[in-house]
Structure 1
Amino acid sequence: MKQLSGGQKTVVALTLIFAIQRCDPAPFYLFDEIDAALDPQYRTAVGNMIRRLADMANTQFITTTFRPELVKVADKLYGVTHKNSVSRVNVVSKEDALDFIEHDQSHNVERAKL
Protein backbone atom coordinates (compact mmCIF):
# COMPACT_ATOMS: atom_id res chain seq x y z
CA MET A 1 0.00 0.00 0.00
CA LYS A 2 2.89 2.38 0.66
CA GLN A 3 3.86 2.31 -3.00
CA LEU A 4 0.40 3.29 -4.26
CA SER A 5 -0.40 6.85 -5.24
CA GLY A 6 -3.17 8.78 -3.50
CA GLY A 7 -5.50 8.12 -6.41
CA GLN A 8 -4.73 4.40 -6.39
CA LYS A 9 -5.38 4.23 -2.63
CA THR A 10 -8.71 5.98 -3.21
CA VAL A 11 -9.70 3.46 -5.87
CA VAL A 12 -8.82 0.53 -3.58
CA ALA A 13 -10.83 2.03 -0.70
CA LEU A 14 -13.83 2.75 -2.94
CA THR A 15 -13.69 -0.77 -4.36
CA LEU A 16 -13.96 -2.17 -0.84
CA ILE A 17 -16.85 0.16 0.05
CA PHE A 18 -18.73 -0.65 -3.17
CA ALA A 19 -18.22 -4.40 -2.62
CA ILE A 20 -19.62 -4.12 0.90
CA GLN A 21 -22.47 -2.01 -0.46
CA ARG A 22 -23.46 -4.81 -2.84
CA CYS A 23 -23.51 -7.41 -0.04
CA ASP A 24 -25.01 -5.35 2.77
CA PRO A 25 -26.34 -2.02 1.47
CA ALA A 26 -26.83 0.92 3.77
CA PRO A 27 -29.54 3.53 3.15
CA PHE A 28 -26.95 6.21 2.46
CA TYR A 29 -23.20 6.80 2.14
CA LEU A 30 -21.40 10.03 2.95
CA PHE A 31 -18.19 10.73 1.06
CA ASP A 32 -15.96 13.75 1.63
CA GLU A 33 -14.00 14.73 -1.49
CA ILE A 34 -13.35 11.14 -2.57
CA ASP A 35 -12.40 12.45 -6.00
CA ALA A 36 -9.67 14.88 -4.85
CA ALA A 37 -6.73 12.57 -5.62
CA LEU A 38 -8.21 11.08 -8.80
CA ASP A 39 -7.43 11.94 -12.41
CA PRO A 40 -10.39 13.24 -14.48
CA GLN A 41 -11.11 9.91 -16.20
CA TYR A 42 -11.25 8.14 -12.83
CA ARG A 43 -13.46 10.86 -11.35
CA THR A 44 -15.83 10.32 -14.26
CA ALA A 45 -15.78 6.54 -13.72
CA VAL A 46 -16.43 6.92 -9.97
CA GLY A 47 -19.26 9.37 -10.64
CA ASN A 48 -20.85 6.98 -13.14
CA MET A 49 -20.53 4.07 -10.71
CA ILE A 50 -22.13 6.06 -7.91
CA ARG A 51 -24.95 7.05 -10.26
CA ARG A 52 -25.55 3.40 -11.28
CA LEU A 53 -25.44 2.14 -7.68
CA ALA A 54 -27.83 4.87 -6.53
CA ASP A 55 -30.26 3.95 -9.30
CA MET A 56 -30.02 0.17 -8.78
CA ALA A 57 -29.95 -0.11 -5.00
CA ASN A 58 -32.25 2.74 -3.96
CA THR A 59 -29.36 4.14 -1.93
CA GLN A 60 -28.34 7.76 -1.45
CA PHE A 61 -24.76 8.84 -2.01
CA ILE A 62 -23.91 12.19 -0.47
CA THR A 63 -20.59 13.60 -1.59
CA THR A 64 -18.65 16.81 -1.21
CA THR A 65 -16.60 17.85 -4.20
CA PHE A 66 -14.88 20.70 -5.95
CA ARG A 67 -14.68 18.77 -9.24
CA PRO A 68 -17.14 18.87 -12.15
CA GLU A 69 -17.28 15.12 -12.83
CA LEU A 70 -19.38 14.27 -9.75
CA VAL A 71 -21.52 17.38 -10.13
CA LYS A 72 -22.52 16.29 -13.63
CA VAL A 73 -24.09 13.02 -12.41
CA ALA A 74 -25.77 14.42 -9.29
CA ASP A 75 -29.54 14.63 -8.83
CA LYS A 76 -29.50 17.47 -6.34
CA LEU A 77 -26.80 20.00 -5.52
CA TYR A 78 -26.30 22.17 -2.48
CA GLY A 79 -24.03 25.14 -2.01
CA VAL A 80 -22.75 26.20 1.38
CA THR A 81 -21.98 29.87 1.93
CA HIS A 82 -20.43 31.49 4.97
CA LYS A 83 -21.01 35.11 5.90
CA ASN A 84 -20.77 36.89 9.26
CA SER A 85 -19.99 33.60 11.05
CA VAL A 86 -23.19 32.02 9.72
CA SER A 87 -23.29 29.12 7.25
CA ARG A 88 -26.19 28.78 4.86
CA VAL A 89 -27.10 25.75 2.76
CA ASN A 90 -28.99 26.41 -0.47
CA VAL A 91 -30.11 24.25 -3.37
CA VAL A 92 -28.16 25.29 -6.47
CA SER A 93 -28.55 24.46 -10.13
CA LYS A 94 -26.07 22.25 -11.91
CA GLU A 95 -25.03 25.24 -14.02
CA ASP A 96 -24.36 27.40 -10.95
CA ALA A 97 -22.36 24.60 -9.29
CA LEU A 98 -20.24 24.09 -12.41
CA ASP A 99 -19.68 27.86 -12.70
CA PHE A 100 -18.55 27.97 -9.07
CA ILE A 101 -16.13 25.09 -9.62
CA GLU A 102 -14.72 26.69 -12.76
CA HIS A 103 -14.22 30.00 -10.96
CA ASP A 104 -12.66 28.25 -7.95
CA GLN A 105 -10.23 26.29 -10.14
CA SER A 106 -9.19 29.36 -12.15
CA HIS A 107 -8.70 31.30 -8.89
CA ASN A 108 -6.48 28.52 -7.53
CA VAL A 109 -4.39 28.54 -10.73
CA GLU A 110 -3.89 32.30 -10.40
CA ARG A 111 -2.81 31.89 -6.76
CA ALA A 112 -0.36 29.12 -7.71
CA LYS A 113 1.31 31.46 -10.23
CA LEU A 114 2.03 34.05 -7.53
Structure 2
Amino acid sequence: QVSFTGKGETQSMKQLSGGQKTVVALTLIFAIQRCDPAPFYLFDEIDAALDPQYRTAVGSVVRRLADLADTQFIATTFRPEILKVADKIYGVTHKNRVSFINVVSKEQAMDFIEHDQTANAS
Protein backbone atom coordinates (compact mmCIF):
# COMPACT_ATOMS: atom_id res chain seq x y z
CA GLN A 1 0.00 0.00 0.00
CA VAL A 2 1.24 3.48 -0.90
CA SER A 3 0.15 6.94 0.19
CA PHE A 4 1.19 9.98 -1.83
CA THR A 5 -0.71 12.45 0.35
CA GLY A 6 0.41 11.23 3.78
CA LYS A 7 -3.19 11.55 4.99
CA GLY A 8 -4.01 7.89 5.36
CA GLU A 9 -5.38 7.53 1.82
CA THR A 10 -3.59 4.52 0.36
CA GLN A 11 -3.49 2.80 -3.00
CA SER A 12 -2.41 -0.66 -4.00
CA MET A 13 0.71 -0.85 -6.19
CA LYS A 14 -1.51 -2.46 -8.85
CA GLN A 15 -3.55 0.76 -9.06
CA LEU A 16 -0.56 3.01 -9.73
CA SER A 17 0.53 4.46 -13.07
CA GLY A 18 3.96 3.66 -14.48
CA GLY A 19 5.26 7.03 -13.28
CA GLN A 20 3.89 6.49 -9.77
CA LYS A 21 5.47 3.03 -9.61
CA THR A 22 8.77 4.58 -10.66
CA VAL A 23 8.54 7.19 -7.90
CA VAL A 24 7.82 4.48 -5.30
CA ALA A 25 10.73 2.33 -6.49
CA LEU A 26 13.14 5.29 -6.51
CA THR A 27 11.99 6.35 -3.06
CA LEU A 28 12.82 2.89 -1.74
CA ILE A 29 16.24 2.88 -3.46
CA PHE A 30 17.07 6.37 -2.18
CA ALA A 31 15.99 5.42 1.37
CA ILE A 32 18.25 2.35 1.30
CA GLN A 33 21.05 4.50 -0.14
CA ARG A 34 20.82 6.85 2.83
CA CYS A 35 21.12 3.95 5.30
CA ASP A 36 23.64 1.76 3.50
CA PRO A 37 25.18 3.61 0.53
CA ALA A 38 26.69 1.68 -2.34
CA PRO A 39 29.65 3.10 -4.26
CA PHE A 40 27.54 3.44 -7.43
CA TYR A 41 24.05 2.96 -8.81
CA LEU A 42 23.17 2.09 -12.41
CA PHE A 43 19.79 3.32 -13.65
CA ASP A 44 18.39 2.49 -17.08
CA GLU A 45 15.92 5.16 -18.23
CA ILE A 46 14.42 5.68 -14.77
CA ASP A 47 12.83 8.87 -16.05
CA ALA A 48 11.01 7.35 -19.06
CA ALA A 49 7.57 7.12 -17.37
CA LEU A 50 7.87 10.40 -15.45
CA ASP A 51 6.38 13.79 -16.24
CA PRO A 52 8.91 16.65 -16.72
CA GLN A 53 8.47 18.08 -13.19
CA TYR A 54 9.13 14.65 -11.66
CA ARG A 55 12.15 14.10 -13.92
CA THR A 56 13.51 17.43 -12.69
CA ALA A 57 12.87 16.41 -9.06
CA VAL A 58 14.57 13.03 -9.57
CA GLY A 59 17.53 14.78 -11.20
CA SER A 60 17.82 17.10 -8.18
CA VAL A 61 17.73 14.20 -5.73
CA VAL A 62 20.33 12.25 -7.69
CA ARG A 63 22.62 15.32 -7.88
CA ARG A 64 22.23 16.00 -4.13
CA LEU A 65 22.87 12.38 -3.15
CA ALA A 66 25.89 12.17 -5.44
CA ASP A 67 27.35 15.28 -3.82
CA LEU A 68 26.54 14.35 -0.21
CA ALA A 69 27.30 10.64 -0.15
CA ASP A 70 30.24 10.52 -2.55
CA THR A 71 28.23 8.05 -4.59
CA GLN A 72 28.31 7.70 -8.36
CA PHE A 73 25.06 7.53 -10.30
CA ILE A 74 25.18 6.17 -13.84
CA ALA A 75 21.99 6.66 -15.82
CA THR A 76 20.84 6.14 -19.37
CA THR A 77 18.29 8.67 -20.60
CA PHE A 78 16.69 10.27 -23.60
CA ARG A 79 15.35 13.18 -21.53
CA PRO A 80 16.99 16.56 -20.82
CA GLU A 81 16.27 16.79 -17.08
CA ILE A 82 18.80 14.13 -16.03
CA LEU A 83 21.40 15.48 -18.46
CA LYS A 84 21.25 18.90 -16.81
CA VAL A 85 22.61 17.52 -13.52
CA ALA A 86 25.26 15.22 -15.03
CA ASP A 87 28.99 15.74 -14.56
CA LYS A 88 29.97 13.67 -17.57
CA ILE A 89 27.95 12.50 -20.55
CA TYR A 90 28.77 9.66 -22.90
CA GLY A 91 27.25 9.15 -26.32
CA VAL A 92 26.97 5.78 -27.97
CA THR A 93 27.11 5.60 -31.75
CA HIS A 94 26.99 2.65 -34.13
CA LYS A 95 28.89 2.19 -37.36
CA ASN A 96 29.15 -1.04 -39.33
CA ARG A 97 27.52 -2.98 -36.48
CA VAL A 98 30.14 -1.73 -33.99
CA SER A 99 29.33 0.51 -31.01
CA PHE A 100 31.55 3.43 -30.08
CA ILE A 101 31.43 5.30 -26.78
CA ASN A 102 32.65 8.89 -26.59
CA VAL A 103 32.47 11.73 -24.08
CA VAL A 104 30.11 14.41 -25.41
CA SER A 105 29.28 17.91 -24.21
CA LYS A 106 25.93 18.78 -22.66
CA GLU A 107 25.15 20.81 -25.76
CA GLN A 108 25.83 17.83 -28.05
CA ALA A 109 23.72 15.57 -25.83
CA MET A 110 20.87 18.10 -25.71
CA ASP A 111 20.98 18.45 -29.50
CA PHE A 112 20.77 14.67 -29.83
CA ILE A 113 17.80 14.49 -27.45
CA GLU A 114 16.04 17.35 -29.19
CA HIS A 115 16.54 15.62 -32.55
CA ASP A 116 15.41 12.26 -31.10
CA GLN A 117 12.23 13.75 -29.59
CA THR A 118 11.44 15.59 -32.82
CA ALA A 119 11.94 12.45 -34.89
CA ASN A 120 9.78 10.36 -32.53
CA ALA A 121 7.00 12.99 -32.42
CA SER A 122 6.34 12.73 -36.14
Which position in structure 2 is the counterpart of 1:93? 105
Q: Which of 46, 62, 74 is the aligned partner of 2:74?
A: 62
Q: Secondary structure at the match of 2:109?
A: helix
Tell me the TM-score normalized by structure 1: 0.96
Equivalenced residue count is: 110
User: In 1, Cα distance between the equivalents of 2:25 and 2:19?
Assistant: 10
User: Could you say which residue in structure 2 is the equivalent of 1:44?
Assistant: 56
Whether 1:10 aligns to 2:18 is no
How far 1:99 sits from its partner (Å)?
Answer: 0.4
Distance 1:109 1:16 in 2: 33
Q: Which is bigger in relative contact order (C-alpha 8 A, separation at least 6)? A: 1
> In the alignment, what sits opposite 1:23?
35
Q: Deviations over 1:27-62 (max 9, x none)?
A: 000000000000000000000000000000000000
Q: Which residues of structure 2 form unaligned runs of 5+?
A: 1-12
- Structure 1 distance, partners of 2:114, 2:97, is 25
Higher helix residue share: 1
Aligned residues: percent identity?
84
Q: After TM superposition, where is structure 1 displaced by more than 2 Å over at least 4 residues in a row?
A: none
Partner residue of 2:92 out of 75, 80, 103: 80
1:106 aligns with 2:113: no
For the residue of structure 2 that corresponds to 1:87, the secondary structure is: strand
Amino acid at match of 2:57: A
Distance in 1 (alpha carbons) for counterparts of 2:66 and 2:84: 14
RMSD (Å), alpha carbons: 0.3
